[in-house]
Amino acid sequence: RVLLDAGTPPVLDLTPATQVLENADHAADLDAVRAPGTTARFRALAPGETTFGYAQGAYWFRFEVENTLPEAVRRVLVIDYALLDHVTLFRIDAAGTVTRRDGGDRTPFATRDLADRHLNFLVDFAPRASATFYLRVESQSSMQVPLLLADPRAYLAGQLTSRLLLGLYYGILVALTLYNLLLFASVRDGNFLWYALYGASYCLMLLCLNGLAFQHLWPQWPHWGNLATLLSVSFSMITVMQFSRRFLDLARRAPLFDLLLRLCMAFALALALAALVAPYSVVIRLQTLLSLAVAPVILIAAFGSMRSYAPARQFALAWSILLIGTMIYAAVALGILPKVPLTEYSIQIGSAAEMILLSLALAYRINALTAENERIQREARSELESRVQARTADLDAALQHLEDANRRLDDFSRRDGLTGLYNRRHLDDALARVCRDVDAQRTPMALMMIDIDHFKSINDRYGHSVGDACLRATAAALSQAVANDDAILARYGGEEFAIVLPHIDADAAMAVAERVRAGIEQRPILTDPHRVDLTISIGLHIVPTGTPCEAQDLLRRADARLYAAKRGGRNRIEISTYGASRK
C-alpha cells in the first residue's frame, strides 16, 4: 500500500508496492481477478522488476493508494514506456465503486490526460481516502511496465529536461542526415546517401520507440504508428547494412560477410513487407533477433578490414561506441548500473557519437581515396614520362643512326670506288670552299693536276687489272706524299689526280710537287709477277696573295700546265701563277 503524506516524493516508483498476475489466455476480467482464489495468486514484484519480455497473455498489476493528508490530492499514474498496446486502469474506491479508463498506443493520442509520450492517467484522491487499482496490460510489443505515481507538475517538469536532451539528440541526428544528404548531392558518392538514409530511418525508429512519433507525427493514427515502428526498424537495419557493405567495400574485401549481410538485408526487407500483414508481435520478435545478429557481423567485418583498410578503424570505433552505449542501457535495465542521465540516455549518447564518428569516417575515407587516386595518377604520370623519355631516347638513337648512315652515304658518294680517294664532285666543292677561305684570309694557295704517263700502254701491256692496281698504288703513294700537308687529294678522273694546297706560297707548293713527282718515280709498283715503273706529269698553278681565286679558272689553268708538262716530255712539273708561268 502506498501512503500519500507530506513526506511522499513527488515522483514515486510504484514497483515496490505493486503485485502482478499473468493471465495467459487473456480471458480474465476484473471480477475474475478480484475473486478471492485469484487475488491470492498475485505476487509482489521483485525490486526493479518492470520488464516481462515478449509476453503472450495479459498482465494484471495491483496496488493500493491511501491519501493520509487532510486535503484532496491529484496524482498522475505514468507507465514509463511508450509502446504498450492496450492498457486498462480499474479503480475501486473504499465504497466499492469501480471506474474504468482505457489507453495505449492503439488508442488516439488525444485521449491521454497529459499530453506526454508516456501513457498516463490522472487520479484524484479525496482527503483521507484510499483506492485499489488494477491495471490490465496487453501488448504485442515487449512487455515493459515501469509504474510511477507522480505529482503532475513535478512529472512534467522532469520531462522538460528529458525533452531537452532528446531534442539535442534528434537535432544532431537530423543535422548529420541533412549534411550528408547535401554532401551526396555535391560529391555523388553513394556512401553519403546510404548514411543519410540510415540516419533518417534510425531517427524515425527511435522517435517511434520512445513515443514521440505517436505524440507529434501521427497522434490520430495509432495503427499507422505501430506499422511505422516496424518499418523504421527494418529500414534502419537495411540502410545500415548497405552503408556498411559499401563503406567497408565488403564485396571485394570480405565476400563472405558481404553475402551474409545481403541475406540479412533480404530478410529485413521481407520483414518490412510482412509487417503489412503479419502480427506485430511476430515481426518485432524476428526483427529483434535479426538486429542481435547483424550488429556483431558488422563489427567483426569492420575489425577484420582494419589492417588493410585504414577508414575501417573509425568505422569499427563508431560501432563499438554504439554497442557500448547499448550494453550500458541493458546493464541499467538489468539493474547492474544506476539509472542516471548518462546511463539512461546511453543509447542516444552512443548512437549520436556513432553517427558523428561515421560522418568523420566518411570524410576520412574520401580523403584516403583522393590520396590514393593522386598516388595512382602520379605513378601513371611518371610511368608515362619515363616511357616518353625512353621513346625519345630510342628516337634520338634512330636519328643518330640515320645521320651516320646519311653521312656515310654522303661520304661514299664523294669517294672514288677504286682508290678510296675523294672524287671530282668533292674536289669541286672543296676547291670552292678553299677559294672562299684564301680570299677571306688573304693567303696564297695552289692546285696540282697530276696524270700518269703512258698509262694506256700499261693497260695494254699488263691488262686492266694491273692498270687498276697501279691506280691504287699511285693513290696510296700520293696520299703518303701529302699526308703532312693541309692538302686535299682527289681522283679527278681516269688516271688523273688533283691536289689542292691551301695557304701555301709558290716555293712551298713547288717543293710539294717535286716531292710527289719524285716519290712516284722512285717507287716502282710491284704487282706480282710484274714490276711497273711509273712516272707522273704535274701541272701546278699558284694563286698568289691578293689575287681573286676562282675554282674553274684555277682548274683550267692547272690542266693547261699539265698538258704543257706532257708536251714537254712528261715526268715533269709545269708551274704557272697568274700572269706568269715557268718550268
Ligand X SMILES: Nc1nc2c(ncn2[C@@H]2O[C@H](COP(=O)(O)OP(=O)(O)OP(=O)(O)O)[C@@H](O)[C@H]2O)c(=O)[nH]1
Query: By the 8 A CB rule, do 121 and 185 touch?
Result: no
CB 474, min distance to ligand X, A: 11
494 binds ligand X (CB under 6 A): yes
574 binds ligand X (CB under 6 A): no
User: What residues pair up with 525 in beta bridges, in sequence order?
Assistant: 532
Nearest CB to ligand X, comparing residues 105 and 453: 453
CB 577, min distance to ligand X, A: 25
- Residue 48 zone, left/alpha/beta (φ > 0; ψ -120 to 50; rest): left
566 binds ligand X (CB under 6 A): yes
Is the peptide bond preceding residue 502 cis, with omega within 30 degrees of 0?
A: no
Q: d(Cα 556, Cα 520) in Å, to the nearest integer? A: 24
Nearest CB to ligand X, comparing residues 409 and 418: 418
C-alpha cell at 21: 498476475
Pairing of strands 43-44, 58-67: unpaired
Pairing of strands 86-93, 98-103: antiparallel
CB 454, min distance to ligand X, A: 5
313 binds ligand X (CB under 6 A): no
Number of residues that bind ligand X (CB under 6 A): 17
Pick the binder of ligand X from 22, 80, 439, 468 (CB under 6 A).
Answer: 468
CB 467, min distance to ligand X, A: 3
CB 466, min distance to ligand X, A: 8
Nearest CB to ligand X, comparing residues 47 and 569: 569
Nearest CB to ligand X, comparing residues 41 and 461: 461
Nearest CB to ligand X, comparing residues 156 and 466: 466
Nearest CB to ligand X, comparing residues 354 and 453: 453
Q: d(Cα 314, Cα 484) in Å, to the nearest integer? A: 86
Nearest CB to ligand X, comparing residues 253 and 472: 472
495 binds ligand X (CB under 6 A): yes
Q: Which amino acid makes up residue 549?
A: C
CA separation, residue 317 to residues 313, 350, 383 (Å): 6, 11, 38
Nearest CB to ligand X, comparing residues 287 and 419: 419
Which residues 6+ apart lie within 8 Å of 417 measured at CB?
none
CB 522, min distance to ligand X, A: 19
CB 526, min distance to ligand X, A: 17
Q: Is 526 exposed, middle or buried (0-12, 13-18, 19+ CB in 10 A)?
A: exposed
Nearest CB to ligand X, comparing residues 101 and 570: 570
Identify which of 67, 60, 61 has the alpha carbon closest to the alpha carbon of residue 94: 67
* Window 406-465: residues binding ligand X (CB under 6 A): 418, 451-457, 459, 464
C-alpha cell at 520: 712516284
559 binds ligand X (CB under 6 A): no
Q: Of all helices (H) and strands (E), which one includes residue 342?
A: helix 341-344
Q: d(Cα 400, Cα 420) in Å, to the nearest integer? A: 25
Query: By the 8 A CB rule, do 445 and 553 touch?
Result: no
Nearest CB to ligand X, comparing residues 9 and 420: 420
Pick the binder of ligand X from 225, 311, 350, 467 (CB under 6 A).
Answer: 467
CB 400, min distance to ligand X, A: 36
530 binds ligand X (CB under 6 A): no
| Helix (H), strand (E) counts: the chain | 17, 19
Q: d(Cα 461, Cα 472) in Å, to the nearest integer? A: 18
Nearest CB to ligand X, comparing residues 468 and 485: 468
Nearest CB to ligand X, comparing residues 379 and 460: 460
| Residue number with the smallest Cβ distance to ligand X | 467
CB 539, min distance to ligand X, A: 12
Long-range contacts of 180-188 (CB under 8 A, 24+ apart): 180/359, 180/362, 183/362, 187/366
CB 498, min distance to ligand X, A: 15
Q: d(Cα 386, Cα 489) in Å, to the nearest integer? A: 49
What length does the chain have? 583
Query: By the 8 A CB rule, do 536 and 474 touch?
Result: yes
Nearest CB to ligand X, comparing residues 221 and 563: 563
* Window 56-85: residues binding ligand X (CB under 6 A): none
104 binds ligand X (CB under 6 A): no
471 binds ligand X (CB under 6 A): yes
Q: Helix (H, G, I), strand (E, B), or coil: what is residue 522? A: helix
End-to-end Cα spacing for the chain: 161
CB 509, min distance to ligand X, A: 22
Kindly provide the b/e burial profile for residues 225-255, where b requires at least 16 CB atoms within 10 angstroms of the residue's own CB. bbbbbbbbbbbbbbbbbbbbbbbbebeeebe
Q: d(Cα 166, Cα 215) in Å, to the nearest integer? A: 14
CB 482, min distance to ligand X, A: 21
CB 484, min distance to ligand X, A: 28
Nearest CB to ligand X, comparing residues 224 and 563: 563
Q: Give the x/- contact pattern for ligand X in 363-382, rule: CB under 6 A.
A: --------------------
* Window 143-182: residues binding ligand X (CB under 6 A): none
CB 451, min distance to ligand X, A: 5
Query: By the 8 A CB rule, do 498 and 448 touch?
Result: yes
Interacting residue ranges for ligand X, rule: CB under 6 A = 418, 451-457, 459, 464, 467-468, 471, 494-495, 566, 570
